Structure formats: C-alpha cells, structure tokens
C-alpha cells in the first residue's frame, strides 16, 4: 500500500534531493508539492517546485503558500546556503507549467477531506502552511494519517542559533501551533541529520545511477558542499530533508524516542524545540504539553544505500 503524502517544501537543494527521492519511491504517492518560504522566497520556492516536477516528468499539483512568518518581519532567506535561485550555482529556466490556483494550506485541507485518514503531511520547510491549514480546518488532525517533519534539534545544538534549527527558527509561532495540535507528529531534527554527512562520492554515485535526477542533485550540491565544508577538513553536505521520507519507507533504520515538546518563541529561545522524554521532568510546562516522537539515531550506511538504490530505480 503506497504512502499518500503531501510534501510541504522550500526548495532548496536538500529539498530537491528529497523530492526526487519521493518521486523515485514506488511505495510513495505524492499528491502534491505545497511550497513555503524558507531557503528562498515563496514565489521562488513555487517556481523551483514546478521546475523539479518538470525535470522528473511528474504532473502533480504544485501550490504557493505562506511567504511570511506567523509573527515578525520577512525572512532574509538562506541564499548563502542554497544559492541565488535555490539551486546552488544553477539558474533554472522558467518552468512551463502553471501553479495550482489554491493556496498550499487550502490544498492540504482539500486533500485531507478527500482522503480522510490516508494522507501523511511531510513538512521539510518552515511550518506556516500547516499552521494555516489547522486554522482553516480545526478538524485537520482527525483527517490526516500523521505528520512527519524535518526540523528541530531536540538534544543537539541548532544550526541558526545555539538552540534553534532553521525550519523551526524561521517560523517559531507556526511551529508552536503545529507541535501543539492533537496529531501524531514525528520529528527528524539535526539530532540525526547533522550526524549523517554525505561526501562528494555519494552525489557522484547518484548521478551514475540516475543521470537526470542524480545529475541535478550532484550539480546543485557543489555550492551546498562549499558552504558546509567551509570549516571542515573533509568535503561534505547534509541532505536533511530526505530523512522523514526514508523513515516512512524503512522505519527500522531509525531509533525514536518519545517526549513532551515545547517550542521557544522568545528572543533567546526562538525556534528551540525543547523535548523532555516522558518522566524526566517535574515541570507541568512540559508534562502538560503534547508528546511527539523524535528521531535520535539512524543507520548511516543503510540510509545511504537506500538513497542510492532508490535513485537507481
Ligand atoms: O535546517 C535544515 C533545513 O532548513 C532543511 O529543510 C533545509 O532545506 C532548510 O529548509
Ligand atoms: Ca527544506
């Protein structure tokens, strides 16, 4: 039985690798790509999502979503990580296909109503579309199968501040709404993604296995590797966004822990995902909060092989 998913994304180089992984996965049915600002402005994210669908020959809905955080000023985006156009050194041609006229939030609600209990929301960017969808349809948690995200840093340092990971930091109030909703949420944060560096030979192998999709990932990853390797001896990058998708298909590759989660929204703790494993704190501020599942370990070798084998299909 295929996993019906909506991929909420801010493409983005690791988003692109994850989107192609989902497209290549025989047991994943992508109902649509819903875009959000984050790595790049939402208009660019939407155009990039159309481009990725055209490269992969996928005819599925692509929607444009929120372009601003729930609270606060416009983002300054992450062009220093993902490049001027979100694909490293590559300036993509304008896509020929059109966006679905619905907003990302409306598309999420429509699909959840169309396929009650079947759709998994896979969010690999900031969480504004999911938060807005919750406001549009308060029954959404009952209508979706579950939520799985790339974001957060439960027991490790952040990548934007010492406490916060980018997707959560970018829209901390939206994240607070999403983490506070009564649905089954699994978080793949820097605890596992920053623990899994990928080398130049990995992206070269993806290209060998799949010249079109792997070749695009390899080409866009060069800029991305420059950024991640700046203060390292070795040349690496991190394909954060594919982790929730890999877990959907092969949960046995991961270890999860369950805990109460609170999201920081203050000046210092903005975007912190403070997780207290059950029974570890007397504080009602945590014990009365939702519990989520947090990925704490992954089998690096088997994960890398899964990516390679899937691109090779
Ligand atoms: O912190 C990593 C996350 O932020 C990834 O989703 C990356 O694409 C960026 O959105
Ligand atoms: Ca992303």
What pLDDT, in 10s, does the model give residues 216-256? 999 999 999 999 999 999 999 999 999 999 999 999 999 99
11 CA distance to ligand 2 middle (Å): 6
| Res. 10: pLDDT tops 90 | yes
Ligand nearest to the CA of 156: 1
**How many distinct structural domains can be found in the chain?**
1
- pLDDT, tens digit, 9 for 90 and up, residues 26-36: 999 999 999 99
Domain boundaries, position 145 = 3-311
Compute the average pLDDT of residues 273-293.
96
CB 37 within 8 A of CB 79: no
Ligand 1 closest atom vs CA 14: 8
pLDDT at 195: 97
Compute the average pLDDT of residues 66-86.
97
| Res. 2: pLDDT tops 90 | no
pLDDT band at 8 (very low <50, low <70, confident <90, very high): very high
| Res. 55: pLDDT tops 80 | yes
Whether 159 is in the pocket of ligand 1, judged by its Cβ within 6 Å, is: yes
pLDDT at 41: 98
Whether 244 is in the pocket of ligand 1, judged by its Cβ within 6 Å, is: no
Ligand nearest to the CA of 239: 1
Whether 171 is in the pocket of ligand 1, judged by its Cβ within 6 Å, is: no
pLDDT band at 204 (very low <50, low <70, confident <90, very high): very high
271 CA distance to ligand 1 middle (Å): 13
pLDDT band at 297 (very low <50, low <70, confident <90, very high): very high
- pLDDT, tens digit, 9 for 90 and up, residues 166-201: 999 999 999 999 999 999 999 999 999 999 999 999
pLDDT at 1: 77
Nearest CA owner, ligand 1 atom 10: 125
Catalytic annotation, pick one of 3, 240, 247, 260: 240
Which chain residues have CB less than 5 Å from ligand 2, an ion? Answer: 10, 12, 15, 124-125, 241
Mean per-residue pLDDT over the chain, rounded: 98
pLDDT at 20: 98
165 CA distance to ligand 1 middle (Å): 8
- CATH number of the CATH domain containing 204: 3.90.245.10
240 is catalytic: yes
- pLDDT, tens digit, 9 for 90 and up, residues 94-133: 999 999 999 999 999 999 999 999 999 999 999 999 999 9
257 CA distance to ligand 2 middle (Å): 23
Whether 241 is in the pocket of ligand 1, judged by its Cβ within 6 Å, is: yes
């Amino acid at each position: 039985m295929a996993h019906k998913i909506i991929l909420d994304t801010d493409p983005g180089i690791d988003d692109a690798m994850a989107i192609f992984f989902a497209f290549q996965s025989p047991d994943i049915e992508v109902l649509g790509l819903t875009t959000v600002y984050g790595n790049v402005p939402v208009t660019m994210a939407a155009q990039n999502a159309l481009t990725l669908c055209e490269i992969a020959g996928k005819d599925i809905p692509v929607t444009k979503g929120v372009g601003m955080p729930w609270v606060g000023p416009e983002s300054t985006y992450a062009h220093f990580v993902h490049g001027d156009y979100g694909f490293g050194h590559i300036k993509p041609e304008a896509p020929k296909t059109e966006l679905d006229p619905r907003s990302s939030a409306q598309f999420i609600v429509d699909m959840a109503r169309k396929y009650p209990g079947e759709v998994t929301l896979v969010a690999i960017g900031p969480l504004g579309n999911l938060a807005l969808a919750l406001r549009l349809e308060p029954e959404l948690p009952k209508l979706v199968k579950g939520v799985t995200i790339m974001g957060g840093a439960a027991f490790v340092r952040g990548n934007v501040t010492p406490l916060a990971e980018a997707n959560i930091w970018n829209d901390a109030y939206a994240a607070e709404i999403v983490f506070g909703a009564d649905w089954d949420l699994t978080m793949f944060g820097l605890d596992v993604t920053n623990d899994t560096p990928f080398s130049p030979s990995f992206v070269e192998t993806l290209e060998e296995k799949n010249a079109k999709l792997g070749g695009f990932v390899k080409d866009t990853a060069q800029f991305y590797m420059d950024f991640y390797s700046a203060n390292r001896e070795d040349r690496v990058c991190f394909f954060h966004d594919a982790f929730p998708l890999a877990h959907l298909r092969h949960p046995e590759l991961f270890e999860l822990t369950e805990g109460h989660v609170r999201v920081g929204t203050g000046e210092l703790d903005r975007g912190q995902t403070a997780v207290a494993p059950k029974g570890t704190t007397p504080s009602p501020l945590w014990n009365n909060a939702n519990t989520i599942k947090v990925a704490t370990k992954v089998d690096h070798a088997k994960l890398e092989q899964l990516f390679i084998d899937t691109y090779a299909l």
